[in-house]
Amino acid sequence: MRSPARRFSPLALAFLLVIGLAPATASAGTPTDAQISAAEQSVLKLTNRRRANAGLVALRWDTRLAELAGDRAEYMARTGRFSHTQSGGTDVFDMIASAGIKWYGAGEIIAWNTAAALDYSAAFAVQGWMGSSSHKAIVMSKGYNYVGFGLAISDSGKRYWAGVYLKGPDRTGAWSRIVGTAKRNLNSTDVRVWVKWSGGDIRLQVLTSGFRYYQVQRSINGSAWSSYPITTNTTMTRIWRRNSTYDVRVRSRDRAGNWGAWKAITIKT
């Protein structure tokens, strides 16, 4: 395996070039978009597994970077030009800037192999990157928090891979979950209901923005959602009507303004 590498110093950026060779296998037909997407996610999983084993934080998937990585892989598959630069000298840093992505550091790694099974192709690509100290340094870097991988297949069957790494602002929503509920009948018409939740900001390798507050809403018997005041509390107690169905949902926001997904529970009174 040949592993030439180039490094550029501005903003701690790095170009990495890897050629991964794998035994050719019989073609299983043209992979579907879903199969290619699954292979790209496999590279993410394999990468983060190695990072976890080294005590590092998982890289978060960024669809913008994945689109750039896919464009890079498709260019190589279409032209056969296995390089970090495209015609006219365009590189991934130019593409990041043109896409309007805010960033403080970035890097690219590329690979190709001939393994027909896409899961094997993904594994060979990661194995090749991890087999070189300079390339492993990017995969295992403490300086990036987001990544996107792209796969494209040439007419000759070569599998071209690109990975775009980024150090950028926190774009990952905070997490939340409903921990538990309790209720107590007060009389023939009223019930006291207690709801507890928890949450926090998802940790990134760098630039985690931190938790800010919760939003809590409730719906009665399928009606429109009604919001309670924004809060940092993790419990609430309310007096509700008996013989009704209440849906309660909670979501968290981080200090960068990113909302997480709603977490909901149904309480029958």
| pLDDT tens track for 71-85 | 999 999 999 999 999
Long-range contacts (CB closer than 8 Å, 24 or more residues apart) made by 126-134: 126/43, 126/46, 126/47, 126/50, 127/20, 128/1, 128/3, 128/18, 128/19, 128/20, 129/16, 129/18, 129/20, 129/163, 130/50, 131/1, 131/3, 132/3, 132/5, 132/18, 134/3, 134/5, 134/7, 134/16
Which pLDDT band holds residue 21 (cuts at 50, 70, 90)? Answer: very low
Which pLDDT band holds residue 8 (cuts at 50, 70, 90)? Answer: very low
Q: How far apart are CA 5 and CA 69, in angstroms?
A: 18
Structure tokens at 68: 């750039």
Which pLDDT band holds residue 29 (cuts at 50, 70, 90)? Answer: confident
Mean pLDDT value of segment 158-171: 97
The answer to which of 2-6, 116-120, 147-151 has the lowest mean pLDDT is 2-6
Please check the confidence at residue 43 and state whether its pLDDT lies above 70.
Answer: yes
Q: How many residues does the chain have?
A: 269
Structure tokens at 206: 């760098």
Cα–Cα nearest to 14, from 107, 85, 78, 96? 107
Residues 6+ apart with CB under 8 A from 167: 103, 104, 105, 106, 143, 144, 145, 146, 206, 207
pTM here? 0.86
Residues 6+ apart with CB under 8 A from 182: 193, 194
Mean pLDDT value of segment 30-40: 94
| pLDDT tens track for 223-254 | 999 999 999 999 999 999 999 999 999 999 99
DSSP string, the chain: ----EEE--GGG-EEE-------------PPPHHHHHHHHHHHHHHHHHHHHHTTPPPPEE-HHHHHHHHHHHHHHHHH---SSB-GGG-BHHHHHHHTT---SEEEEEEEEE--SSHHHHHHHHHHHHHTSHHHHHHHT-SS--EEEEEEEE-TT--EEEEEEEEE----PPPEEEEEEEEEEE-SSSEEEEEEEEEEEPPP-SS----EEEEEEEEEETT---EEPPPBS-SEEEEEEESS-EEEEEEEEEETTS-B---EEEEEE-
Which residue, chain included where needed, has tokens 């295992």?
A: 140
Mean pLDDT value of segment 23-34: 67
pLDDT at 19: 43
Cα–Cα nearest to 66, from 123, 127, 108? 108
Mean pLDDT value of segment 205-234: 97
